[in-house]
Amino acid sequence: MTDQNLSDEAARFEVVLDELRVIMVELRRIGVHAVLVGGQVLAVERRENGGTGVVEVRTPTDVAVNRGFSLEPDLLIDADQAGERVHALGDALRNCNFKRVNTARWYKKTHAGDVFLDIFIPAEADPMNDPGAVRLPQGEAALLKPRNVKLQLKNGILEIDVPDPVGFLAMKLEAKLRLRPTETKDSFDIYAYVAMKGAQLVAKAIQDDHFLGADLKAKLQQLFGDINAPGVTDVPTFAGGLAAEERDLLARAAVDLFAEITG
């Protein structure tokens, strides 16, 4: 990706964040709680820590591997907590000038291009509380212990919840191992997330979770336990364009990172 493309996408990302800011104000107004999920969690946390929001990792020889910007936010709605209020979601999004594309996807035309938004609810949510959303396996885990992020934007403050490490990894591992086993993006996101948060922090979160912790640890071992494990081979494959030596070093770095959690 060229510097100009990165600059253009950075500007688009700021527009996406501002649209999220407006949406979150509207959702709080109607009493509906939402958590940001998916790859944009990494982007928002990068932005919180002073970055532009581009998702990247660096190889042991300091080669940057970036995923670019995540420009299509996914919102997980706490449907059962909202109850009947959840059915005001459609009107709330229309108040923000979004239009429905299909059952769970919305979009808005902006000066920076179309902004798309996907709506999810936990897989276990009561059918009576479905506002028109995709059911997300492990969604309940993401809602259990969210962390609030505040970002200063040009037009105000975006205040939005993101999952804790257990919630994020539970959803991403489910996606890789069951929903999208042949795709490489989820493995890269898991690696980028752990690299960003730090293996010690993630290991402690997993250790402290007596409900999902042991299962997450076993699944991380399955994906990243050795140099030939599927998650390990996914990371350099997703990165693309690396010399053989760089691919080998990146794979070894992935094994070593997760050994701090599963070892």
What is the domain count for the chain? Answer: 2
- For range 41-47, the mean pLDDT: 94
Task: Give the range of the structural domain holding residue 174, as residue numbers without chain letter.
Answer: 166-262
The domain boundary, picked from 113, 142, 163, lies at: 163
Q: Over 90: is that where the pLDDT of 128 sits?
A: yes
Q: Could you tell me what percent of the chain has a pLDDT over 90?
A: 82
Contact 120, 37 (CB under 8 A): yes
Residues 82, 132 share a domain: yes
Residues 198, 90 share a domain: no
Q: Over 90: is that where the pLDDT of 62 sits?
A: no
Residues 195, 134 share a domain: no
As a whole number of angstroms, the distance between CA 144 and CA 166 comes to 9
pLDDT tens profile 138-193: 999 999 999 999 999 999 999 999 999 999 999 999 999 999 999 999 999 999 99
Contact 152, 145 (CB under 8 A): no
Residues 228, 144 share a domain: no
Residue 61's Cβ-side half-sphere holds a number of Cα atoms within 13 Å equal to 11
Residues 132, 73 share a domain: yes
Cα-atom radius of gyration of the chain, to the nearest Å?
A: 18
Residues 258, 150 share a domain: no
Length of the chain: 263
Residues 171, 104 share a domain: no
Mean pLDDT of the chain: 93
Residues 221, 108 share a domain: no
Q: Over 70: is that where the pLDDT of 5 sits?
A: no
Residues 188, 90 share a domain: no
The domain boundary, picked from 163, 191, 217, lies at: 163
Residues 110, 63 share a domain: yes
Q: What is the pTM of this model?
A: 0.93
The domain boundary, picked from 163, 183, 205, lies at: 163
Residues 118, 232 share a domain: no
Residues 15, 133 share a domain: yes
As a whole number of angstroms, the distance between CA 121 and CA 129 comes to 9
